[in-house]
Amino acid sequence: MTEILKRKTDHIDLVLKQRLELAAQASPWDEVQLTHNALPEQDLLRFDLSTEFLGKRLRLPFLISSMTGGPFKAEKINAHLAEAAQEIGIAMGVGSQRIALLSAGSSGLTNHLRGWAPDIPLYANLGAAQLRDDFSLAEIQRAVDMIAADALIIHLNCLQELMQEDGDTDWRGLLAAIETVCACLDVPVIAKEVGMGISAGTAKRLVNAGVSAIDVAGKGGTNFIEVEAGRTADPRLRALGEIFKDWGIATPDAVKAIRAELPHIPLIASGGIRHGLDAAKAIKLGANVIAQAGPVLQAATESTQAVLEHFEFMEDALRIGLACSE
């Protein structure tokens, strides 16, 4: 348990450090070009950006993506995120609830979260690798009930696990486990990667198993291969991290491929979304909702107001990008 707590704390610190490095790198979103519309025929600052997602109305098509679930500093971060999400009218996904289920501590993942955000969609979160062996269906339901969640995110992170000294390496039978969870839970299930993307073929298998929505979480944002390589003392894992640091499906490619294969599935675009123009591009490619984690983290460590200002600027650029493109 102590090692898991330390890993979660390291993740926050290393993701914040990586944000500075990402700012200087090229993005796959730069390859996506929208066509300018010189005659948009609408009130550019007042058209409706609200959307319905999994039966819930969002004032803006944004999701604060799964970020923190273990370390004690997460309690403050989650409070800032939940308060801001409530005020803006967007969805929020919590980080992994594994520690909250295995220990007496909750790290802010209790009904207090619903108290800060009584009206918005909240999404619980567990790793796919824990579904088969670690938790019963009753415990998985408890993760949902713990925060009065509207859906459960199941995160798929096989490559990240392979880069951890004590990672879960046996992924046999997990699709069947996901299917069982989808059939037994009383809320929808969202399948999410953690930065390597989901292919159209995998998305189809997940949907056939009962998953209600896909979060592509593609390459281009926070790189958990580099994060894990940065925290390990094992030279073998560091070397493997260097080899696989560019592995994955870029988010724009994943969104396009899944939307072509599954035209009606609720689809979340995340992974390298820097600003509202990237969000506009993702929506034009077929995403229903845009999710961010790393870009919001620095604001979330500061205050609720900093998170509000981040999303206000996101909204401004999204509005312009959608209004002025064909």
Out of 64-68, 197-201, 244-248, 259-263, least confident range = 64-68
Q: Higher-confidence residue: 247 or 23? A: 247
Q: What is the mean pLDDT of residues 117-127?
A: 96
98-103: long-range pairs with CB below 8 Å, 24+:
98/4, 98/69, 98/70, 98/126, 98/127, 98/130, 98/134, 99/1, 99/4, 99/5, 99/8, 99/69, 99/70, 100/69, 100/70, 100/143, 100/146, 101/126, 101/135, 101/139, 101/142, 101/143, 102/1, 103/1
Choices 3.40.50.1970, 3.20.20.70, 3.40.50.300, 3.60.20.10: CATH for 2-23+44-323: 3.20.20.70
pLDDT of residue 199 exceeding 70: yes
CA-to-CA dists, residue 4 to 1, 8, 28, 103, 233, angstroms:
5, 6, 32, 11, 16
Q: What is the mean pLDDT of residues 75-85?
A: 92
| 74 SS3 class | helix
Backbone angles phi, psi at 226, to 5 degrees: -70, -35
Helix/strand/coil percent split, the chain, to 5:
50, 15, 40
pLDDT for 243 equals 95
DSSP state at residue 142: H
Token pair of 124, please? 């619980």
pLDDT for 270 equals 97
| 113 SS3 class | helix
Q: What is the mean pLDDT of residues 257-284?
A: 98
Q: What is the mean pLDDT of residues 148-162?
A: 95
Residue 279 banded pLDDT, cuts 50, 70, 90? very high
> Do residues 141 and 185 lie in contact, with contact meaning Cβ atoms separated by under 8 Å?
yes
CA distance 246 to 7: 22
Token pair of 292, please? 């961010």
Task: Output Rg (C-alpha) for the chain, integer angstroms.
Answer: 19
Residue 90 banded pLDDT, cuts 50, 70, 90? very high
List the beta bridge partners of residue 269: 290
Token pair of 145, please? 């009930």
91-115 pLDDT, tens digit per residue, is: 999 988 888 888 755 555 677 889 9
Query: pLDDT exceeding 70 applies to what percent of the chain?
Result: 89
pLDDT for 72 equals 59
28-74 pLDDT, tens digit per residue, is: 999 999 999 999 998 888 889 999 999 999 999 999 998 764 455 77
pLDDT for 6 equals 52
Residue whose pair of structure tokens reads 């983290």 in the numeric block: 297
CA-to-CA dists, residue 2 to 176, 244, 246, angstroms:
30, 28, 30
pLDDT for 104 equals 59
CA distance 191 to 178: 9
Q: What is the mean pLDDT of residues 208-227?
A: 94
Strands 56-58 and 62-64: unpaired
The domain spans of the chain are 2-23+44-323
